[in-house]
Amino acid sequence: MEIFRRSQQAEGLTREELSAAVEASLQGRDLHKVLILPPDFTRYHSNAGLLTNLYYHFLTDAGVQVDILPALGTHVPVTEEEMDLMFGDIPHDRFLIHHWRTDVVKLGEVPASYLEEVTEGLWHDPIDVEVNRLVMDPTYDLVLSIGQVVPHEVIGMSNHSKNIFVGVGGADMINKSHMVGAVYGMERMMGRDHTPVRKVFDYALEHYMQKVPLLWVLTVTTAPGGQIRTHGLFIGEGRSCLTEAVKLAQEKNLDFVPPLKKCVVYLTPSEFRTTWLGNKAVYRTRMAMADGGELIILAPGVERFGEDMTVDALIRKYGYKGRLNTLAAFEKPENEDLRSNMGAAAHLIHGSSDGRFSITYCTKKISREEIEGVGFQWADYDEMARRYDPEKLTYGRNTMPDGEEIFFIPNPALGLWADKSKF
């Protein structure tokens, strides 16, 4: 069963069109108990919240029990306020919490020989395949995996099998897959399908998940002015829905630009409260930044570094000091705290410019000393927001009153910006 919908309108698919596709995807199924795996609030603009709401009501109206397990990965749980904003009127007690360190079962492993093959010899260890035990519960007649396909720094293009093996996966896969991506090089992967990390997830899916009744529900969206536009909806049981979603996301979410000498990125406070997420401003622009350029990150909601307090402590200790410095620290036997948290080490590599361009965080809730302590430059948010007012700037190139030219990005999570010569 495949249901592919592409909008020919700039505003995207209507609610009625989305609802019709959801209803069609359930036709002919004898369902009693369904598990839904949507993203968390950090993917608010995926429109997965609306789709989850539509599925919930279609199913419960038919007498089906529905449980919802947000694909948190290592993120903090969804708050009740976020539930209401993203998922609408679904009762809070239908939402479960994924604990990535404790709630998983091991299904097998991706062998070292396969990792060596897909990474061109850069990785030599196997990776455990772990998923939340509810995903493997045979009492569920259907597992709905819902989410957005968009350029991503670790895997190339997000979602599909990543929603399972990272979103509701375990520590070994999360940590090692992120480190594989960092070692292989994010510039070689971002915006592309069939990357080494994607191949790892596809291997795990093919070898260990064949008996799980998975249905993929994938969106391609943009959000100009904060208004979500769903340009495509791809529903299916195989990989073709991902392939088609990738094609559309490369069209809608990948912007080729000349080298940017000065880029200003705004982090919506409700969406970005940590540099763990806020560093999408770094990841998604690094292929566009000119050597010696300046990246200014307006981050009024950033209040700490890690989503997880263990990771927060590691970021504070080791900082965003560049790929070589991080790898050197990682290799030292005495740094067991970093060696046992590969995902954090990978994040530190991803979040640095390696000295190629400057990164200035403009904050209100975290101090200058803390920001500078992890290797970034700092500026006062209110002062910088008066000059670069996110309410007045428009997406793309802006000329300031004094003639300064900047490139403004209102939400880095929704795209990838690149100098075509680097892609």
Inform me whether the pLDDT recorded for 101 exceeds 80: yes
Alpha-carbon distance of 302 to 416, in angstroms, equals 21
Q: Which of 252, 236, 68 is nearest to 149 (CA)?
A: 252
Q: Are residues 279 and 328 in the same domain?
A: yes
Q: Are residues 357 and 397 in the same domain?
A: yes
Instruction: Tell me which residue range forms the domain holding 156.
Output: 2-252
Q: Which CATH number does the domain housing residue 113 bear?
A: 3.40.50.11440
Q: What is the pLDDT of residue 225?
A: 81
Q: Which CATH number does the domain housing residue 307 bear?
A: 3.90.226.30
Stretch 286-299: mean pLDDT: 97
Considering 204, 224, 252, which residue would you say is the last residue of a domain?
252
Alpha-carbon distance of 85 to 259, in angstroms, equals 37
pTM for the whole thing?
A: 0.91
366 falls in which pLDDT band (50, 70, 90)? Answer: very high
Taking each helix axis from N to C end, the angle separating 48-61 and 80-87, rounded to the nearest 10 degrees, works out to 80
Alpha-carbon distance of 108 to 233, in angstroms, equals 32
Q: Are residues 231 and 305 in the same domain?
A: no
Q: Are residues 79 and 118 in the same domain?
A: yes
Q: What is the pLDDT of residue 422?
A: 76
Q: What is the pLDDT of residue 308?
A: 85
Q: What is the pLDDT of residue 421?
A: 84
Q: What is the pLDDT of residue 420?
A: 85
- How do residues 18-69 score in pLDDT, each as one tens digit? 999 999 999 999 999 999 999 999 899 999 999 999 999 999 999 999 999 9
What percentage of the chain has pLDDT greater than the value 70? Answer: 100
Q: Are residues 9 and 141 in the same domain?
A: yes
Stretch 6-20: mean pLDDT: 96
Q: Are residues 199 and 291 in the same domain?
A: no
Task: Please give, one letter per residue, the 3-state secondary structure of 226-250.
Answer: HCCEEEEEEEECCCHHHHHHHHHHH
Please give the sequence-ordered ranges of beta strands (E in DSSP) within 111-150, or none if there are none.
Answer: 127-132, 142-148
Q: What is the pLDDT of residue 42?
A: 87
Q: Are residues 187 and 280 in the same domain?
A: no
Q: Are residues 232 and 279 in the same domain?
A: no
Q: Are residues 171 and 265 in the same domain?
A: no
Inform me whether the pLDDT recorded for 141 exceeds 90: yes
Alpha-carbon distance of 171 to 176, in angstroms, equals 8
Q: Is the dihedral of CA 313, 319, 320, 323 positive or negative?
A: negative
> Domain total for the chain?
2
- How do residues 245-276 score in pLDDT, each as one tens digit? 999 999 999 999 999 999 999 999 999 999 99
Q: Are residues 243 and 353 in the same domain?
A: no
Q: Are residues 201 and 283 in the same domain?
A: no
Considering 227, 252, 277, which residue would you say is the last residue of a domain?
252
Q: What is the pLDDT of residue 48?
A: 97
Q: Are residues 304 and 177 in the same domain?
A: no
- How do residues 321-362 score in pLDDT, each as one tens digit? 998 999 999 999 999 999 999 989 999 999 999 999 999 999
Mean of per-residue pLDDT scores for the chain: 96
Considering 217, 252, 287, which residue would you say is the last residue of a domain?
252
